[in-house]
Structure 1
Amino acid sequence: MTPEFAYLLKVNVAFVLFYAFYRLFFYKDTFFKLRRAILLAFFGLALFYPLLNIQDWVRQQEPIADVIYMYSAMLPEATAKADAAASVDWYGWLLGSLGFIYWGIVAFLCGRFLVQLSSILWLAHTSERVVIHKTPVYALRKAAGPFSFFRMVFLHPESHSDKETDEILTHECTHVSQWHSIDVILSEMMCMACWFNPFVWLLKREVRHNLEYLADNTVIQSGYDSKSYQYHLLGLAHHQSVTTLYNSFNVLHLKNRIMMMNKKRSPGIVRTKYLIFIPLVGILMLLSNIEAVARLTVRLANEATVSNAMVTATGILVDETGQPLIGASVVVKGGKEGTITDRKGAFSLEVPANAILRCSYQGRESQEVLAADMTNNTHLSLSSKSREMNEQVFTVVEKMPSFPGGDAELLKYIATNIKYPKESQDNGEQGRVICSFIVGRDGSVNNPEVLRGVTPLLNEEAVRVINTMPRWNPGMQRGKAVAVKYTVPITFRLKSPVEETKEETLTVVDVMPQYPGGDHELLKFIAQSIKYPTDAQEAGVQGRVICSFVVDKKGNIVEPKIIRGIDPSLDAEALRVIGMMPRWTPGRQDGKAVRVLYTVPITFRLQ
Structure 2
Amino acid sequence: MTPEFAYFLKVNVAFVLLYAFYRLFFYRDTFFKLRRTTLLAFFGVALLYPLMNIQDWIREQEPMVEVIQMYSAILPETTITPDNVPETDWHGLLLSGVSYLYWGGVLALLLRFLVQLSSILLLARKSKVMQIYDTRVHVLDRPAGPFSFFRLIFLHPGSHSDKEIDEILTHEGTHVSQWHSIDVIICELICIVCWVNPFVWLLKREVRHNLEYLADDTVLESGYDSRSYQYHLLGLSHTNKSATSLSNSFNMLHLKNRISMMNKKRSHGIGRAKYLIFIPIVGGLLIFSNIDAVARITDELVESSFAEALMPEAIQLPIQLFPAVNKEEPAEMHRGYVLSKEELAAIKRAEEQVFTVVEKMPEYPGGQKALLKYLASSVKYPESAMRNGIEGRVSCSFIVRKNGSITDAEVIRGVDPALNAEALRIINAMPEWSPGEQRGKAVNVKYTVPVSFRLANKHKASVSGTPVKGIDTSGRIFTVVERMPEFPGGQYSLLRYLSQKIKYPVIAQENGIQGRVSCSFVIGADGALSDVKVIRGVDPSLDAEAVRVIKSMPKWKPGVQNNMAVAVKYTVPVTFRLQ
TM class by shorter chain equals 0.5 to 0.7
Secondary structure at the aligned position of 1:30 is classed as: coil
2:214 aligns with: 214
Structure 1's 43 and 505: CA in aligned 2 closer, same or farther, altered over 3 A?
farther
Report whether the alignment pairs 1:95 with 2:95.
Answer: yes
Determine the C-alpha separation between the residues in 1 that align with 2:251 and 2:377.
79
SS state of the match for residue 245, structure 1?
Answer: coil
Deviation at 1:291, TM superposition (A): 2.5
The residue that corresponds to 1:258 in the other structure is 259
Q: 1:249 to 1:262 in 2, by over 3 A?
A: same
With structure 1 as the length reference, what TM-score do the two structures score?
Answer: 0.53
Return the match for 2:430 from 554, 559, 576. Answer: 554
Instruction: Name the SS of the counterpart of 1:56 in structure 2.
Output: helix
Judge conservation of contact 1:57–1:296 (CA < 8 Å) in 2. no
SS of the equivalent of 2:224 reads coil
Q: What is aligned with 1:268?
A: 269
Aligned AA (1:40): L
Structure 1's 574 and 303: CA in aligned 2 closer, same or farther, altered over 3 A? closer
Q: Which residue of 2 aligns with 1:358?
A: 347
Q: Structure 1's 584 and 337: CA in aligned 2 closer, same or farther, altered over 3 A?
A: farther
Q: Determine which structure has greater relative contact order: mean sequence separation of CA pairs < 8 Å that are 6+ residues apart, divided by chain length.
A: 2
Partner SS for 1:168: helix
Gaps of 5+ in 1: 60-70, 307-326, 340-355, 360-366, 375-487, 519-550, 561-572
Q: Deviations over 1:493-522 (max 9, x none)?
A: 79xxx9x9897589xx8245657499xxxx
Matches within 5 A, 1:342-357: none
Matches within 5 A, 1:358-437: 358-359=347-348, 368-372=350-354
Closer/same/farther in 2, CA of residues 243 and 5 from structure 1, 3 Å limit? same
Cα contact 1:180–1:211 (8 A) shared by 2:
yes
Q: 1:502 to 1:11 in 2, by over 3 A?
A: closer
Tell me if structure 2 keeps the 8 A contact 1:556–1:583: no
1:510 paired with 2:363, answer no
> Is contact 2:145-2:249 (8 Å) kept?
yes
Q: Provide the secondary structure at the position in 1 that maps to 2:261.
A: helix
Q: How does 1:478-517 map to 2 (within 5 A)?
A: 504=376, 510-511=393-394, 516=399
Give the RMSD, CA atoms, in angstroms. 5.1
Corresponding residue for 1:109?
Answer: 109
Q: 1:430-509 counterparts in 2 under 5 A?
A: 504=376
Structure 2 counterpart of 1:346: none
Shift of 1:159: 0.6
Contact 2:147–2:172 under 8 Å retained in 1 = yes
Normalized against structure 2, the TM-score is what?
0.56
Secondary structure of 1:510's aligned partner: strand
- Residues 36 and 210, structure 2, Cα contact 8 Å, conserved in 1: yes
Secondary structure at the counterpart of residue 227 of structure 2: helix
Q: What is the CA–CA distance in structure 2 between the aligned matches of 1:77 and 1:585, rounded to whole Å?
A: 14
Match of 1:64 in 2: none
Give the superposition deviation at 1:111. Answer: 0.3
1:556–1:582 Cα contact (<8 Å) kept: no
Distance 1:85 1:245, change over 3 A: same
Q: CA deviation at 1:264?
A: 0.7
Counterpart of 1:470 in structure 2 is none
Distance in structure 2 (CA, Å) of the matches to 1:182 and 1:584: 57
CA contact (8 A) 1:139 1:155 kept: yes
> Aligned-pair distance for 1:50?
0.5
Aligned to 1:286: 287
Q: CA–CA distance in 2 between the matches of 1:505 and 1:264?
A: 86
**Residue of structure 2 equivalent to 1:590:** 453
Question: What letter corresponds to residue 370 of structure 1 in structure 2?
Answer: E
Counterpart of 1:358 in 2: which secondary structure?
helix
* Structural mapping, 1:185-264, within 5 Å: 185-240=185-240, 241-264=242-265
CA distance in 2, matches of 1:171, 1:215: 5
Distance in 2 separating the partners of 1:32 and 1:288: 30
Contact 1:212–1:257 (Cα < 8 Å) also in 2: yes
Q: Structure 1 residues 144, 154: CA separation in 2 closer, same or farther (over 3 Å shift)?
A: same
Aligned residues: 382
